[in-house]
């Protein structure tokens, strides 16, 4: 048999399996199963996979909710673009807006407190990457992702967009303060 000519024996699937072939099938199948069960295992025991809730929204509706929280809890602004720094009360719902090519606002959270972080995009797909925690969440327009977070270390974290979103993608960086 060759890959170009049709098989001489048309009912080839009725031929007995070669031992080498059956061995490879078993190895591949076993590995598939390992990979398959790693997914739920890693979800439960991995430290970087967060369970998220996802809701339908619109950019306008999300921006409105986010803006209300920003207006209420802005404590100062930073950089020339006057990005608001929001310090919400412990346990609050906090919002982060992704758009070409910025994150708004800058959040200032407290160590050991739990927050519900809402994420959505205004235009295209972006990626929320929190470093050095190495947390990754896709941020999509029309969807509101809600993640429960409890910062356990004080410091300044970096937020990086890790989905290519055009010419300013590399500039789509921000930070998150934990105090």
Provide the binding-site residues for ligand CUA, judged by CB under 6 A.
101, 126, 161, 163-165, 169, 172
CB neighbour list of residue 116: distance below 8 Å, 6 or more residues apart: 92, 93, 94, 146, 147, 148
Angle at 157 between CA 135 and CA 150, to 5 degrees: 60
Nearest distance from C-beta of residue 63 to ligand CUA, angstroms:
16
Of 87 and 174, the one with the shorter C-beta distance to ligand CUA is 174
Rounded CA-CA distance 140/62 in Å is 12
Of 84 and 141, the one with the shorter C-beta distance to ligand CUA is 141
Rounded CA-CA distance 77/86 in Å is 9
Nearest distance from C-beta of residue 36 to ligand CUA, angstroms:
31
Of 97 and 147, the one with the shorter C-beta distance to ligand CUA is 97
Nearest distance from C-beta of residue 45 to ligand CUA, angstroms:
30
């Amino acid at each position: 048999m060759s890959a170009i000519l049709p098989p001489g024996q048309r009912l080839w699937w009725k031929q007995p399996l070669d031992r080498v072939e059956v061995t490879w099938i078993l190895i591949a199948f076993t590995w598939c199963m390992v990979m398959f069960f790693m997914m739920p295992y890693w979800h439960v025991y991995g430290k970087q996979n967060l369970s998220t809730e996802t809701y339908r929204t619109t950019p306008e509706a999300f921006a409105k909710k986010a803006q209300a929280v920003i207006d209420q809890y802005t404590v100062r602004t930073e950089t020339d673009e006057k990005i608001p720094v929001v310090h919400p009360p412990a346990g609050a719902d906090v919002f982060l807006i992704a758009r070409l090519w910025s994150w708004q606002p800058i959040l200032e959270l407290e160590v050991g407190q739990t927050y519900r972080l809402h994420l959505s995009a205004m235009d295209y797909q972006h990626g929320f990457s929190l470093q050095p925690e190495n947390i990754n969440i896709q941020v999509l327009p029309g969807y509101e992702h809600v993640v429960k977070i409890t910062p356990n270390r004080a410091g300044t974290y970096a937020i990086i967009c890790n989905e290519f979103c055009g010419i300013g993608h590399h500039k789509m960086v921000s930070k998150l303060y934990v105090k």
